[in-house]
Amino acid sequence: MSAQKPTTQEKINKVLKLVSEGMSVKQACLRKDTCSEKTFNNWLSGDDAKGQRLLRYARAREGRADSIFEEVLEIADNVEEDKNAIAKARLMIDSRWKYLAKLAPSKYGDKLDVNHGGDIIVEIKK
């Protein structure tokens, strides 16, 4: 007896799980046990009165960002003490860090200090 074929929703759930583990949607949708990228995007943009689809995708992207951050640490921790290997690791880390700043700017982006620390003097001339 053969196993039951996964439903579209189960395939979408698999894509979300893979994204949260660090894969891109494109990479996840290339697998045989997931839905196509078109099906996933149609599901994501479909009618969702409570916004649960976008919330689930946002959570998966947060997980992806965290996975990429862990990858950055792993690259830094395991770089060989060779000039070329260090340069390559630096490039890999910098590119991932820039991507993280775009993927999750509030968590991994540059923090801007918008607080004013000085006095404001207003002079009124008549």
Tell me the one-letter amino acid at 54.
L
Tens digits of residue pLDDT in 7-27: 999 999 999 999 999 999 999
pLDDT under 70: residue ranges of the chain:
1-3, 112-113
Quick one: pLDDT at residue 94?
96
Domains recognised in the chain with CATH numbers: 8-105 (1.10.10.60)
d(CA 104, CA 108): 6
Q: pTM, whole model, 2 decimals?
A: 0.76
d(CA 48, CA 30): 25
Quick one: pLDDT at residue 6?
83
Arithmetic mean of pLDDT over the chain = 90
DSSP one-letter code for 45? H
Let me know: does 107 contact 65? Beta carbons within 8 Å. Answer: yes
